[in-house]
Structure 1
Amino acid sequence: MESSKHKHYHVHDFDSRQFLENYFSDKSDMVFGDDTLKFVIDNLKQIFSEGHINGDILIDLSIGSFIHHLYSACEFFKNIIVLKVNNRCIMELKRWVDERTGAFYWGHTSTLLQEKEVNSDHFEDKEGHLRSAIQHVVKYDLDKENMTDPLVLPPADCVISDCLLDAISKDQDDYIRYLRKFSRLLKPGGHLIIIGCLDTTYFTVGKDKFHVFTFDEDFVRKALVGEGFIIDYCNVKKRTAVSDLIDYKAIMIIAAHKEK
């Protein structure tokens, strides 16, 4: 299938539950655990534990409806606002937030973070703590100047974006345009954390292949600097998973702050 014929996450129907089952579940045949789960959880714990990134409001702009990337963040922010581009992802996330029957199971990710906790008793209600911190789940429209119009969001101390820029950008100009739009959600001096898959062309959900913009670490660094960010942290992990569901070469986490 040619890349131009791949579906687009923010345009076409997207099976949010199948996406979670493929890339984030605790099933024995889910081979991405070291990359999508452990690497992300470990690095975000390190980033937030340094104490530089904290405040009142964190905005999450990520693909799908996963939550494990927010575990550490909820210790340092009073309110988390989650933005989603489609209704299925909103419904999937709200099912977990509201503890409804049939919600996706995230206990295996809680265990991964618990292994890092000195006081495991403190960790017992990590999922409950995160549920309490998620104050709003809001639908957005990438084509609008104010993505959440008519709702005007308060300026955020931090924006975290996991693989969304990868999925919605057609090319380099698109990536930079969306990066600029996301950065407008920040307060002066605010922090941006980006998680992305490097050298990727597609990912698979069910029978559908979805487009991914292909980029490398150097491109992201230059894009951030070009938008006035100072890079504080970057880590890249080479792929370990063996699967043809997605063709990424590595996964990257980069944290930066906006110059005042």
Structure 2
Amino acid sequence: MMDSSTHKLYHVHGFDSRQSLEQYFSDKPDMVFGDDSLKFVIENLRQVFAVGHINGDILIDISIGSFVHHLYSACEFFENILVLKVSNRCIMELKRWVDDRTGAFNWGHTSTLQEKEENSDQFQDQEAKLRSALQHVVKYDLEKENMTDPLVLPLADCVISVWLLGVVSKDQDEYIKNMRKFSRLLKPGGHLIIIGTLGATYFTVGKDKFQVIPYDEDFIRKALVGEGFIIDYCKVKERTAVSDLIDYKAVIFIAAHKEK
């Protein structure tokens, strides 16, 4: 097994964003993560948005890779979606889909997960709506005080971060520090939604292995409360996928709002 000290860092070394989509989000027969990476994410987002408390003008998404399936339901509740990406490669892959260019990753296999009664025409309408909302893709740098410097972003009603905090933080203290940076993007009373892996130490894209810091549900709950958040919703799903591409034990979905 590769020593963790030799694992690459996602935000430093980058990865093949298309390869990551194929391995963790595709409809290929050997893609075993569908319940955790697709269904779990879509169903829980749909559930928290349906309650009606999380909505507004601006949503900021700051997630790993170039996936979009988690934003289908969001575009029903937010006028504008701003996406922050750490690498040009991820930006190019995402813009290929936004611009509906030849060779863009096809998310059609997630249509049956969006709504029970969804048909292909409805899904195409939803894709068009998401593309319209998702017109601003911005590069960020975690080392900067203002991550998007020189651009100053408007404060958001909601920030979503999927599988990112654990891979851009060297330890749990830095995880909290980065969570604090993300929370600064919120309006007073704004909502933060975090989706992550519990107990993971690495993930693989192609031949490259990347570091993840392990943490449990108790840690992320205490981190949110310590940063002034009130937890509104939390769901944990134990891992069922059999694969050595990644060693997580469970996935967590947690939604909270910042006290005004």
Aligned pairs for 1:1-260 (under 5 A) are: 1-115=2-116, 122-260=122-260
Q: CA deviation at 1:128?
A: 1.0
Structure 1's unaligned 5+ residue stretches are none
SS of 2:245's partner is coil
Q: Alignment RMSD, CA only?
A: 1.2
The one-letter amino acid paired with 2:100 is E
The one-letter amino acid paired with 1:188 is P
Is the CA contact (8 Å cut-off) linking 1:110 and 1:127 kept in structure 2?
A: no
Q: Distance in 2 between matches of 1:163 and 1:208?
A: 17
Provide the identity percentage: 79
Q: Distance in 2 between matches of 1:188 and 1:120?
A: 39
Is the CA contact (8 Å cut-off) linking 1:114 and 1:120 kept in structure 2?
A: no
The one-letter amino acid paired with 1:224 is L
Q: Distance in 1 between matches of 2:238 and 2:257?
A: 25
Change (3 A) 1:91 1:210: same
Is the CA contact (8 Å cut-off) linking 1:198 and 1:250 kept in structure 2?
A: yes
Q: Distance in 2 between matches of 1:102 and 1:114?
A: 26
Q: CA deviation at 1:114?
A: 3.2
Q: Deviations over 1:77-121 (max 9, x none)?
A: 00000000001000000000000010011001122213265x886
Q: Deviations over 1:223-260 (max 9, x none)?
A: 00000000000000000100000000000000000000
Q: Distance in 2 between matches of 1:126 and 1:50?
A: 20
Q: Deviations over 1:128-185 (max 9, x none)?
A: 1111111200000110000000000000000000011011011111000000000000
Is the CA contact (8 Å cut-off) linking 1:114 and 1:123 kept in structure 2?
A: no
The one-letter amino acid paired with 1:24 is F
SS of 2:101's partner is coil
The one-letter amino acid paired with 2:149 is D
Task: Give the TM-score normalised by the residue count of structure 2.
Answer: 0.97
The one-letter amino acid paired with 1:256 is A
Change (3 A) 1:148 1:237: same
SS of 1:11's partner is helix
Q: Distance in 2 between matches of 1:188 and 1:221?
A: 20
The one-letter amino acid paired with 1:41 is I
Task: Give the TM-score normalised by the residue count of structure 1.
Answer: 0.97
Q: Distance in 1 between matches of 2:113 and 2:213?
A: 30
Q: Distance in 2 between matches of 1:252 and 1:173?
A: 19
The one-letter amino acid paired with 2:84 is L
Q: Distance in 2 between matches of 1:159 and 1:114?
A: 23
Is the CA contact (8 Å cut-off) linking 2:98 and 2:135 kept in structure 1?
A: no
The one-letter amino acid paired with 2:23 is N
Structure 2's unaligned 5+ residue stretches are none
Structure 1 consecutive aligned stretches of length 4 or more whose deviation exceeds 4 Å? 119-124
SS of 2:200's partner is coil
